[in-house]
Amino acid sequence: MKPSHVVLAVVAALVVLIGLGWLFDFNDYFHYKTFAPKYEQTRREVFEQSRAYNAGTIQNIRSAERDYITAPADRRAGLASAIVQQYADYPDEALPNDLRHFMQCLRSHQNDTYDCSQ
């Protein structure tokens, strides 16, 4: 075999290897792009169903309720708005009755001076 054929064969082999490497990288990217959002969504749903997440959220809402109750009357509307926004995605069904009533009161009287601390 001529030396020029050997060089051509080596270059062709390198081009094929680089092409295969690019193809495998593209394949990894395609799989990541396709499946990563679904995987992360599943992880988030599992996390939101966990006992630790729910207990922590309930504890945070209780703390926010205490802050609301002890706040001066002129600051309660702002606190109500912040509390409602922070926990807007948390389902009412997962809350104990007292907190469910508190959150419903805040949502229904968010823009007025109604006192939800009773």
What does pLDDT average to over the chain?
86
Total domain count, the chain: 1
pLDDT digits 0-9 by tens, 50-82: 999 999 999 999 999 999 999 998 888 889 899
DSSP 92: G
pLDDT of residue 110: 67
pLDDT of residue 102: 92
**Reduced to 3 states, what is the DSSP secondary structure of residue 84?**
helix
pLDDT of residue 17: 86
Torsion angles phi and psi, residue 96, rounded to 5: -65, 160
Contacts of 92 (CB under 8 A, 6+ apart): 100, 103, 104
Residue 40 domain flag? no
pLDDT of residue 21: 79
In this structure, which amino acid lies at residue 79?
A: L
Residue 92 domain flag? yes
Quick one: what percent of the chain has pLDDT higher than 90? 42
| Domain boundaries, position 84 | 51-108
Residue 80 domain flag? yes
Q: Report the alpha-carbon distance of residue 63 to residue 80 in Å, rounded.
A: 13
pLDDT digits 0-9 by tens, 27-43: 777 777 788 888 899 99
91 contacts 53 by C-beta, under 8 angstroms: no
C-alpha Rg value of the chain to the nearest Å = 29
Residue 13 domain flag? no
Q: Report the alpha-carbon distance of residue 45 to residue 38 in Å, rounded.
A: 11
User: Is the full-model pTM beyond 0.75?
Assistant: no
